[in-house]
Amino acid sequence: MIKKILKFGGTSVGTIDRIQHVANIIKKEQSTGCKIIAIVSAMSGKTNELVKLSREISHDFNKRELDVLLSSGEQVTCALLTGALIELNMKAKSWLNWQIPILTDGDHTNARIINMHIEKIEKYLDQNGIVVIPGFQGISKVGDVTTIGRGGSDATAVAVAKIFNADSCEIYTDVDGVYSTDPNKIPVAKKIDKISYDEMLELSSLGAKVMQPSAVQTAMMYEIPLEVRSTFTDRKGTKIFNQENIDYTKSVTGVAYSKDDAKITVIGVEDKPGIAANIFEPLSKAQINVDMVIQNISSDEKTTDITFTVKRDDVSKTKQILKSDCKINFKEIIQNNKVAKISIVGAGMVSTPGVTYRMFRALSDESINILAISTSEIKLSVIIDEDNTLKAIKKLHSIFDLD
């Protein structure tokens, strides 16, 4: 019997009508003879609302309690969906993270699923029961509730697919697949029928929130084929799988953007060996991820400027570390939060020369200044002024024939 994991995102379970609609999708799937495990997100906006509440108590709200709070959103939809299935005369049962249990490792708010118990659930599936599980959470070794990072229900779905050895893992969302760029921002974006894990991982890490990066990473590691599809239409979705299965005719597959980054410039540091290490070592010890780094050529051979990007949330901590923990002298620190990271991604870039210059030329034709650059084999990212985000995406989308 085919075993399917169906994951429903926040918009898909955002209202009672939608939850009833999801129950009908599950009923239809089960009627084709499949075993179904459904994973649900919280109603759209709920998790943000809970974060906001915690901040009204403290900006440094206790992380253990934050996990207890945030995990409650999924508990609500889990029960509502199961209730809706029962109303449709289906045999269905919800299983909370501690009841399964879903075991996690790592810090509160950023844990990682390592295992789960499958026997009870397998038995229920064998009895034609539909299993509903809340996404985004688990429990730690000591039995505390944990959450696994924002957008984490995708990761729960992939972990469940792996551990239950499922035949398919379908991510139901509010768009009918992965597009060349965010279709809600650029209406001429085109749906991609199939995409490799590598490209999807780059796109999602660089801002395409349609899939959570760590979910794609796990799927890639264990070769779990994914399909992203719409809860609201019957159209075929996007298949995410191994690169060998894909035919590349385009150098660029998609354009992603994010507004999570900030640019920091340390002005007037000594130009001698060890300075960069002295700056970045304490940042790494504080778990601050540095993305792009540029060191200017020293004009007087004594001092230079070092520019780098970090997540916006890490800016104050970064500045504090630069001022107190780094063994360096500098003149001043400048920060710019109003930047966006625009990236082009494509496995076809490896075999197509000239992609880099075409991107730079296109941005310059639009009078967009590039503030920092980073590249890998299949992606090229630039930092630009946030105000130019839409103009840049539109231009790149059009010159790489994605419209």
Task: State the residues that interact with ligand ADP by CB under 6 A.
Answer: 9-12, 41, 151, 173-175, 178-179, 181-184, 208-210, 254
Closer by beta carbon to ligand ADP, 50 or else 294: 50
152 scored as a contact of ligand ASP (CB under 6 A):
yes
Q: How far is CA 53 from CA 69, 215, 318, in A?
A: 9, 27, 26
Collect all residues with Cβ–Cβ distance below 8 Å to 247 and sequence separation of at least 6. none
CB of 88 to ligand ASP, least distance (A): 24
Closer by beta carbon to ligand ADP, 10 or else 138: 10
Closer by beta carbon to Mg ion, 138 or else 151: 151
153 contacts 160 by C-beta, under 8 angstroms:
no
Q: Which of 26, 22, 27 is nearest to 11 (CA)?
A: 22
11 scored as a contact of ligand ASP (CB under 6 A):
no
> Facing residues of 375 across strands?
380
**Whole-angstrom distance, CA of residue 373 vs CA of residue 320:** 25
Residue 152 interface partner, choices Mg ion, ligand ASP, ligand ADP, none, CB cut-off 5-8 Å depending on type: ligand ASP
Closer by beta carbon to ligand ADP, 61 or else 232: 232
138 scored as a contact of ligand ASP (CB under 6 A):
no
Q: Which of 352, 339, 344 is nearest to 397 (CA)?
A: 344
Q: Which residue is nearest to ligand ADP (CB)?
A: 9
Residue 182 interface partner, choices ligand ADP, ligand ASP, Mg ion, none, CB cut-off 5-8 Å depending on type: ligand ADP
CB of 152 to ligand ADP, least distance (A): 10
**Whole-angstrom distance, CA of residue 239 vs CA of residue 230:** 13
Closer by beta carbon to ligand ADP, 83 or else 183: 183
**Binder to ligand ASP among 135, 138, 207, 254 (CB under 6 A)?**
135
CB of 401 to Mg ion, least distance (A): 28
Closer by beta carbon to ligand ASP, 150 or else 250: 150
**Binder to ligand ASP among 104, 146, 153, 253 (CB under 6 A)?**
153
Closer by beta carbon to ligand ASP, 72 or else 336: 72
Residues forming contacts to ligand ASP in the complex (CB under 6 A) are 10, 41-42, 47, 73, 135-136, 150-154
